[in-house]
Amino acid sequence: MDSSVLFLPELLLIASIMAIPGLYIFTENRNSYSICSNLSLSGALIFLVVSWYYPDTISMNRDVSVYIFYDHFKVDDFSQLFKIVFVLTALIVSLVSTSYFEENEPHQPEYFTLLLSSTLGMMVTASANDFLTIFIGIELSAFSSYAMVAFRKKDDQSTEAGAKYLLIGAFSSALSLYGISLLYAITGSLTFDGVEAFIDGLNSGVIEGDFTEVIFIASLFIMAGLGFKIAVVPFHAWAPDVYQGAPTPVTALLAAGSKAMGFVAVFRVFVFVLEAASEEWKLVLGIIALASMTTGNLAAISQNDVGRMLAYSSIAQAGYIMIAIPALSSEAMSGAIAHTLVHAFMKGGAFVVVGCVGAVGLGYNLDSYKGLAQRSQLLALSMTVCLLSLVGIPPFAGFISKFFLFYGTLKVGLAGENWLIILVLVGVLNSALSLYYYLKIMRYMYLYDPESSEDIVFPNTVRYISFGILLLLAVIFPLYWESLFELCREASAALIA
């Protein structure tokens, strides 16, 4: 079959982005929007899995990588793996949203349209093969999420979070665009291959001139934009406010999907394109990693709002993943990819529970988790597994991915780059430190009695999704860790090749 059929998942999303506003005109039924979005997302998910991992069933050849749209769109192991994660998170968010909204919540069609267009932006980013496409993908996803964060117009916190997110986001994306323009000024090319060939030419002396400082400055500018998306330390200030203020399903999308998208962009730009740029640059990335895991964990300890605490823990997790980028070996990269994947599910799962507890009226404070185990064993257990996974306690999924990440980096460190060992050591110490605040939530859930004895019914959709995530983190990933790692290794091979 023609290779452009691989664009079908994106087309499916585009179709329903256009269909949902149309449904709003033709039908009064509020469920139709969520059904349309769920259907298109599950269709895209099924097609992604089948067309890439079981290509024989629809008589396709799986080439190593496929280029469509005049080489602007690259489909390979790396992009497809992350597209599956994006679509899966969006599907979870879409399912949870229905039970999170009140019966007559206004602007539902807009919400689902924005959710789908945000996912579309993430998928475009994953497949981007030049700086223009990656920039447009990031912006498409970012603009949709600005509007989603400020989606509850009457909610004071939601609007404030939206305004902060928008202003900081616009500023940092302008900075990264300037960095891209500097790269274009030096290399005269916008494709990843062109820029990489130029840098290789500089290193091997084919191209004359000394552009080290300019490339360093351009990388700093680009890092400012991408660092905002993944919320690493100098660019993290928005994250706690936005995670706390936004409607919780949107927070789940930001923490799981948008963050993974930022890492996809970082991997593409810094591992594939700028890998050979300079030694100092690795040091900068190492310092960013160190600072963000320490700051994130220290700041999380004193938080009282669970959303805010998880936001700081998310900053720390970004720091862990960042240590693989200076290491740059294919093993460290596959560890980083694995941890990004698993992080999407653990953070998504935690925010599903947070959103559910908030939506039934218990609130978002630590106190509202008192005695959650007596109210719903399943939700408490799911939250516990997500949190233990975030710490990296065996046998949960977070342990496996974090182990690969640290092991891969440590190996490079022992092979000569000694300063990487410090990064790994600080990472391990930070994991121990983070146990404190995760255990605090668990203590509130299990050891205290509920503050009121009223009966609270949790919506069924949320319980099924929590159960699914629990199963994924506690059973499926630990049992099939080899195939998970195989997928990540293929992805990192596709990335570095």
Partner 1 sequence: MIDPINYLIFSSVLLMIGAYGVIKNKNAIVVLMSVEIMLTAANINFIGFSSYYHDLSGQVVALFVTAIAAAEVAIGLAILLSLFEQRDTIELDLLNRLRW
From residue 276 to residue 305, the character string flagging contacts with partner 1 as x (rule: CB under 8 A) and all else as - is --------------------------xxxx
Of the candidate residues 229, 236, 259, 308, the single one contacting partner 1 (CB under 8 A):
308
171 binds partner 1 (CB under 8 A): yes
250 close to 148: Cβ distance less than 8 angstroms: yes
Q: Are 94 and 34 in contact (CB under 8 A)?
A: yes
Q: What is the 3-state secondary structure (H, E, C) of 314-379?
A: HHHHHHHHHCHHHHCCHHHHHHHHHHHHHHHHHHHHHHHHHHHHHHCCCCCEHHHHCCHHHHCHHH
Output 240 or 326, the one with its CB closest to partner 1.
Answer: 240
Residue closer to partner 1 by CB (options 172, 409) is 172
> Among residues 97 and 173, whose Cβ is nearest to partner 1?
173
Q: Name residues contacting partner 1, limited to 393-432 (CB under 8 A).
A: none
Alpha-carbon distance 229 to 217, whole Å?
A: 19
Cβ atoms within 10 Å of 105's Cβ, excluding its own: 15
Q: Which long-range contacts (CB under 8 A, 24 or more apart) does 453-461 make?
A: 456/360, 456/361, 456/362, 456/375, 457/360, 458/356, 458/360, 458/375, 458/376, 458/379, 459/99, 459/356, 459/359, 459/360, 460/99, 461/95, 461/96, 461/98, 461/99
Indicate the residue among 107 and 463 with the shorter CB distance to partner 1: 107
If one asks whether residue 77 binds partner 1 (CB under 8 A), the answer comes out as no
Q: Is 132 in the site for partner 1 (CB under 8 A)?
A: yes
288, 305 in Cβ contact below 8 A?
no
Q: How far is the CB of 224 from partner 1 (least distance, A)?
A: 11
How many positions of this chain bind partner 1 (CB under 8 A)?
Answer: 44
**From the list 53, 67, 184, 403, which residue makes contact with partner 1 (rule: CB under 8 A)?**
184
Which DSSP symbol is given to 57?
G
Nearest CA-CA partner of 119 in 146, 145, 97, 81: 145
Rounded least distance, CB 220 to partner 1, Å: 13
CB of 170 to partner 1, least distance (A): 5
Residue with tokens 């807009």: 110
Q: How far apart are the first and last CA of the chain?
A: 25
Closer CB to partner 1, 47 or 238, in the complex:
238
Identify the CA nearest to 456 among candidates 351, 380, 393. Answer: 380
Nearer to partner 1, 47 or 198 (CB): 198
Residue 252 φ then ψ, to 5°: -60, -40
Q: Which is nearer to partner 1, 282 or 440 (CB)?
A: 440
Q: Applying CB under 8 A, does 342 fall inside the site for partner 1?
A: no
Subset of 221-250 contacting partner 1 (CB under 8 A): 240-241, 244-245
Q: Indicate whether 190 belongs to the interface with partner 1 (CB under 8 A).
A: yes
Q: Does 107 bind partner 1 (CB under 8 A)?
A: no
Nearer to partner 1, 24 or 458 (CB): 24
Site for partner 1 in 138-157 (CB under 8 A): 139, 143, 146-147, 150, 153-154, 156-157
Compute the distance between CA of residue 230 and CA of residue 258 in angstroms, rounded to an integer.
Answer: 8
Binding residue for partner 1 (CB under 8 A) from 5, 35, 170, 426? 170
d(CA 110, CA 100): 16
The verdict on 189 binding partner 1 (CB under 8 A) reads yes
Query: Shortest distance, CB of residue 123 to partner 1, whole angstroms?
Result: 18
List 136, 276, 378, 393, residue binding partner 1 (CB under 8 A): 136
3-state helix, strand, coil in the chain (%, to 5): 80, 5, 20
Instruction: Give me the least distance between CB of 490 and partner 1, in Å please.
Output: 31
Q: How far is the CB of 110 from partner 1 (least distance, A)?
A: 11
Beta bridge partners of 73: 68, 128
Radius of gyration, CA atoms only, the chain: 22
Q: How far is the CB of 393 from partner 1 (least distance, A)?
A: 27
Note the residues at the interface with partner 1 (CB under 8 A). Answer: 131-132, 135-136, 139, 143, 146-147, 150, 153-154, 156-157, 159-164, 166-167, 170-171, 174-175, 177-178, 180-182, 184-185, 188-190, 240-241, 244-245, 302-305, 308
